[in-house]
Chains A and B, each alone.
Chain A
């Protein structure tokens, strides 16, 4: 019979990991259990849900620290997230459905490393750092380096994602100017994204763009960012023309695939059009 263990502390977790080195880690289980069911597989499971040191959400000098076991609903309910990282709140507000958000965690979303993971574009844009721990080690890795490809991360055997650290104030203002997450799915609820765009723009009082940052989901094997292209808008006003031009530049750089949900061409067309949405945001 397969075992299911629920350690209550990291100390207990390290011990269990030594006893069951082949066990899978389970956070909310919304990816893992679906996956195991599809494969018809039974494995030993270590449940992370009761580990006290993975549930925190707090501000510590210059950083917002989010325990990996914080659920998407907890992010949405948190006044600090709403205040400092509205783009993250917006992204997870459309993740799955209410019960999925009650169960699924931010750590699980990151470790699943799906190109469509909704929390990922905001976390790339906000330059999130991930704290990885094992019994004897602790290291901090930028999210860009953590995710290698679909379902692939740099996590070593016996290592977990313990917490997520996001600088505050964010590297780009998320509270002035424009801060938005646009997800194109097949329908409104319970839809995995076909293309998603996180965008933050800081504006001068006359409406010229001071700084802009974009991050794209579902357009490659992982989230894509193009710091060089982001600069195109600096010093420009948001117009139909400037945003169309920018959209076309992004569309040339992304590397989408054709899958059940959409063709590569359709994805590229969406990428070239999505920046135009910012015009409506700016006019408010």
Chain B
């Protein structure tokens, strides 16, 4: 079936099996391999994307659900070659080790900061509670998101 949606601000139309999982559509058909798959069952958050601005799990979504929606993946965060400030914060704070969880972490953080730009550390932990990381121990990831909050606070 033909599916039309917006992907990282570009309108696209693609032929796909309607029951193809979104994570497979992104990674295999569109070769956007930033979105990761680990558990495939909703438990780890590695496959997090934004659908109409809201974080969802692409391993538990079907291609047909994308029709008419606005999708953002990690590839849509940076503008041309410039990293998104949130991605920079992850690098600066040492929040990336093997990097497998990072795309999901960044997307979940983007969802949080959009809703709650002045999130507390507690709220950051809560917001990332569906994203597993086996490397960093989470502290530096929370630091990275918190550094964005501090920046917003200093600006206002």
Contacts and interface: CB of A to CB of B under 8 A. Distances in A.
Interface residues of A, number: 25
A96 B67 contact: no
A97 B108 CA distance: 11
Given A98-B127, A100-B57, A103-B60, 12 more contacts: A2-B18, A2-B19, A4-B1, A6-B64, A29-B62, A30-B42, A34-B42, A96-B130, A99-B48, A99-B56, A99-B108, A188-B129
B18 A4 contact: yes
Interface in B85-99: none
Contacts, number: 72
A98 B129 contact: yes
Contact of A99 (B41, B55, B67, B126): B55
Interface residues of B, number: 29
B139 interface: no
A115 to B, nearest CB: 20
Given A29-B62, A30-B42, A34-B60, A99 B17 contact: no
Interface stretch (A42-50, A242-250, A276-284): A42-50
B57 A103 contact: yes
Nearest to A32: B60
Interface of B: 1, 17-19, 40-43, 45, 48, 54-57, 60-65, 67, 108, 111-112, 126-127, 129-131
Contacts of A188: 129
B42 A100 contact: yes
A185 to B, nearest CB: 12
A29 B64 contact: no
Contacts of A155: none
Nearest to A29: B60
A103 B19 CA distance: 17
A68 B1 CA distance: 28
A102 B48 CA distance: 12
A97 B18 contact: no
A190 B64 contact: no
Nearest to A103: B56
Contacts of B55: 98-99, 102
Nearest to B61: A29
Nearest to A102: B54
A156 interface: no
A189 interface: yes
Contacts of B56: 99, 102-103
B61 A97 contact: no
A1 B15 CA distance: 14
A3 B127 CA distance: 35
Nearest to A38: B41
A14 to B, nearest CB: 20
